């Protein structure tokens, strides 16, 4: 297992993070016995970073994770959780208000059975609460010892930039990470979020790195997913997001490269993410121990440059404007210097 620093922080985490969204999910998840076995295999495989959220299976994921980690030294683990989704019928029990952030954190601590959370994340943006209020509340959680670091998830690039600019101006804790959808099929974050996060010192933690299992190659040669599979059960979300002709062609390429290199398609798809140093970790979700076992293989596989480039080119991302404009004009305008200065920013 290889380890990376979480954004611009001193926290070293395994580049594979264990996702626990399957824990307690009755349709595409697992029970306590399997959840505990998954955690055990992950930790024995060198993983120290585990992600959950109060919204997963109505708190059951946190409860099951809390039970599973009782066998381990808590201080050797980096536990991440999140708040934002409604946790209660009360109109206040959602979003990023000061009241909800503080209440939600206390409840997560109770469910997890721990006295602090290492990385507490805003699960999504809240357009109705000033960012200052949310940041100040999270800052208080850090000062009170209930939380060690704060991060965000599903934020827009400008919100990450604004949050850390505000944090610097006001002396609040900065966001050290952004948790975002990123995989070989959906590379949207390359346009704005990835460069904004890197500039703001936030590491990226990728969710759905296997496109809900599609990149494992197990749906190849199927004209539609089995209705009982994860892709089938979540079809309303997963089909438009991942199941289209060019994506299916890309998966054939992933399988071809995996064969050539002697890895599995899942391992190749995960390793592709680590070729970019702005990425801190990929969150591996699993329903079985065998899946974790296989995915752990990507903890120390680095793809040869040619294989990575081939995968990147297999389903190119249309960057759009303003990237298109800078591509045309940047070189002719600034091409006079002998080399790029150290303070040059990546755009994107
Ligand atoms: N912040 C957010 O908004 C957000 C959103 C989504 C997820 N997350 C986090 O990210 C984690 C991962 O998300 P995800 O579950 O969507 O990730 P994913 O890696 O795209 O998909 C995981 C699913 O793929 C299948 N799978 C995994 N490994 C496999 C293998 N080696 N071979 C074949 N199938 C395999 C399993 O489903 P089946 O066996 O059922 O096919 C598993 O549940 C979650 O647990 C959660 O912690 C965060």
Q: Which atom of ligand 1 is nearest to the CA of 218?
A: 33
Which residue is catalytic, options 3, 5, 56, 120? 56
Q: How far is the CA of 238 from the centre of ligand 1 (A)?
A: 12
Q: Determine the Cα–Cα distance for residues 94 and 100; give it in Å rounded to an integer.
A: 6
CB 44, CB 14: distance < 8 Å: no
Q: How far is the CA of 306 from the centre of ligand 1 (A)?
A: 27
CB 140, CB 171: distance < 8 Å: no
Res 345: pLDDT = 87
Does residue 60 have its Cβ closer than 6 Å to ligand 1?
A: no
Res 348: pLDDT = 79
User: Sign of the CA dihedral 174, 124, 185, 285?
Assistant: positive
pLDDT digits (tens, 9 = 90+) for 294-334: 999 999 999 999 999 999 999 999 999 999 999 999 989 99
| Residue among 21, 206, 270, 294 to mutate when testing ligand 1 (max atoms within 8 A of CB) | 21
**Which residue has a Cα nearest atom 25 of ligand 1?**
213
**Which residue has a Cα nearest atom 17 of ligand 1?**
208
SS (H, E, C) the chain: CCEEECCCCCCEEECEEEECCCECCCCCCECHHHHHHHHHHHHHCCCCEEECCCCHHHHHHHHHHHHHHHHCCHHHCEEEEEECCCCCCCCCCCCCCHHHHHHHHHHHHHHHCCCCEEEEEECCCCCCCCHHHHHHHHHHHHHCCCEEEEEEECCCHHHHHHHHHHHHHHCCCCEEEEEEECCCCCCHHHCCHHHHHHHHCCEEEEECCCHHHHHHCCCCCCCCCCCCCHHHHCHHHHHHHHCCHHHHHHHHHHHHHHHHHCCCHHHHHHHHHHCCCCEEEEEECCCCHHHHHHHHHHHCCCCCHHHHHHHHHHCCCCCCCCHHHHHHHHHHHHCCCCCCCCCCCCCC
Q: Give phi and psi for 212, each to the nearest 5.
A: 60, 25
pLDDT digits (tens, 9 = 90+) for 237-286: 999 999 999 999 999 999 999 999 999 999 999 999 999 999 999 999 99
Does residue 173 have its Cβ closer than 6 Å to ligand 1?
A: no
Q: Give phi and psi for 55, each to the nearest 5.
A: -80, -10
Q: How far is the CA of 212 from the centre of ligand 1 (A)?
A: 5
Q: How far is the CA of 17 from the centre of ligand 1 (A)?
A: 11
Residue 297 CB partners (closer than 8 Å, separation 6+): 263, 264, 267
CB 58, CB 310: distance < 8 Å: no
Q: How far is the CA of 219 from the centre of ligand 1 (A)?
A: 15
Q: Determine the Cα–Cα distance for residues 19 and 39; give it in Å rounded to an integer.
A: 10
Does residue 267 have its Cβ closer than 6 Å to ligand 1?
A: no
At 65, list the tokens: 């994770």
Does residue 238 have its Cβ closer than 6 Å to ligand 1?
A: no
**Which residue has a Cα nearest atom 16 of ligand 1?**
208
How many C-alpha atoms does 215 have within 13 Å on its Cβ side? 28
Task: Quickly count: other Cβ atoms within 10 Å of residue 154's Cβ.
Answer: 18
Res 164: pLDDT = 98
Range 3-316: architecture per CATH: Alpha-Beta Barrel (3.20)
Res 221: pLDDT = 86
**Which residue has a Cα nearest atom 34 of ligand 1?**
213
Q: Which atom of ligand 1 is nearest to the CA of 294?
A: 31
Res 214: pLDDT = 97
- The residues of the chain scoring below 50 in pLDDT are none
Distance of CA 113 to the CA centre of its chain: 24
Q: Which atom of ligand 1 is nearest to the CA of 214?
A: 24
Closest alpha carbon to 270 in 226, 208, 322? 208
CA distances from 246 to 181, 215, 231, 238, 310 (A): 19, 13, 17, 15, 15
Res 346: pLDDT = 83
Does residue 74 have its Cβ closer than 6 Å to ligand 1?
A: no
Per the annotation, the verdict on 5 as an active-site residue is: no
Q: Determine the Cα–Cα distance for residues 249 and 236; give it in Å rounded to an integer.
A: 21
């Amino acid at each position: 297992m290889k380890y990376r620093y979480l954004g611009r922080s001193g926290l070293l985490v395994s580049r594979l993070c264990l996702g626990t969204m399957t824990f307690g999910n009755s349709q595409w998840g697992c029970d306590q016995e399997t959840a505990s076995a998954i955690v055990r295999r992950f930790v024995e495989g060198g993983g120290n970073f585990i992600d959950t959220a109060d919204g997963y299976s109505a708190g059951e994921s946190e409860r099951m994770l809390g039970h599973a980690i009782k066998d381990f030294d808590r201080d050797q683990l980096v536990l991440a959780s999140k708040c934002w989704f409604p946790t209660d019928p009360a109109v206040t029990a959602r979003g990023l208000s000061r009241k909800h952030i503080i209440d939600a954190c206390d409840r997560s601590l109770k469910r997890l059975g721990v006295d602090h959370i290492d990385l507490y994340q805003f699960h999504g943006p809240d357009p109705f609460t000033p960012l200052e209020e949310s940041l100040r509340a999270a800052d208080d959680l850090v000062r009170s010892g209930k939380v060690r670091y704060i991060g965000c998830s599903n934020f827009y690039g400008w919100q990450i930039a604004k949050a850390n600019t505000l944090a610097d101006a006001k002396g609040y804790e900065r966001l050290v990470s952004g948790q975002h959808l990123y995989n070989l099929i959906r590379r949207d974050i390359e346009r704005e979020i990835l460069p904004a996060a890197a500039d703001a010192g936030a590491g990226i933690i990728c969710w759905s790195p296997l496109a809900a299992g599609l990149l494992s190659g197990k749906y190849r040669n199927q004209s539609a997913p089995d209705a009982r599979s994860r892709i089938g059960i979540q079809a309303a979300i997963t089909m438009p997001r991942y199941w289209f002709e060019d994506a299916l062609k890309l998966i054939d390429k992933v399988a071809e490269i995996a064969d050539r290199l002697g890895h599995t398609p899942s391992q190749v798809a995960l390793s592709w993410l680590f070729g970019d140093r702005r990425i801190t970790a990929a969150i591996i979700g699993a329903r079985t121990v065998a899946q974790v076992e296989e995915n752990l293989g990507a903890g120390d596989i680095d793809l040869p440059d040619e294989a990575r480039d081939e995968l990147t080119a297999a389903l190119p991302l249309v960057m759009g404007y303003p990237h298109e404009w800078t591509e045309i004009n940047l070189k002719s305008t600034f091409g006079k210097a002998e080399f790029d200065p150290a303070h040059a920013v990546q755009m994107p």
